[in-house]
A = this chain, B = another copy of it.
Amino acid sequence: MKLLEDRIRRDGNILGEHILKVDSFLTHQVDYQLMRDMGQVLADKYRAAGITKVVTIEASGIAPAIYVAEALDVPMIFAKKHKNITMTEGILTAEVYSFTKQVTSTVSIAGKFLDNNDKVLIIDDFLANGQAAKGLIDIIEQAGSTVVGVGIVIEKSFQDGRQLIEEMGVAVTSLARIESFAGGQLHFAPADA
């Protein structure tokens, strides 16, 4: 998605060898118009598949995911990373290790929101090592639902997350794919949409 690649080039900050900071439009301050445009593109890609639910993980996935859900006219569910005293029963969980934050979280979704008729599109802001997406796929499959695809805003193509997800038999659609940060310069691989 050229609009997104241009925005990353303009406003993204490369920190070290593996971290791209996009806090001015995606992960902290959020540009609703870009989210809306991205939601439309991801929804169009999966419109024929009969998606019934969009699933993401708090917190940076929520804004792009709600616009995908709107464009497909389905509910959005955001998985929780932290325990909450109002989540009491029928909780499906997976352990997810975050290399960025260097912690393992128990990611959870209430089972009552998914059943074996659901066709789910997962949306997330980043795909790097794929651990978050893998955890969501595990949870959704525990519920008996089908994961139709994973829609990603920014893929770090030099890490192995895409391969991991594709080997699970799930399609990946990334709006921007970063091949390398070599010498502080962004190099994009051809995007999926």
A residues adjacent to B (C-beta < 8 A):
15, 19, 21, 23-24, 27-33, 35-36, 58-59, 62-63, 66, 69-70, 75-78, 80, 82, 84-88, 100-102, 109-110, 113
Contacts and interface: CB of A to CB of B under 8 A. Distances in A.
Given A35-B66, A59-B62, A84-B100, 16 more contacts: A15-B86, A15-B88, A19-B86, A23-B87, A24-B113, A28-B78, A28-B113, A30-B75, A32-B69, A32-B70, A32-B75, A63-B63, A63-B76, A66-B66, A84-B101, A85-B100
Q: How many copies of the shown chain assemble into the complex?
A: 2
Nearest to A84: B101
A31 B66 CA distance: 9
A146 to B, nearest CB: 18
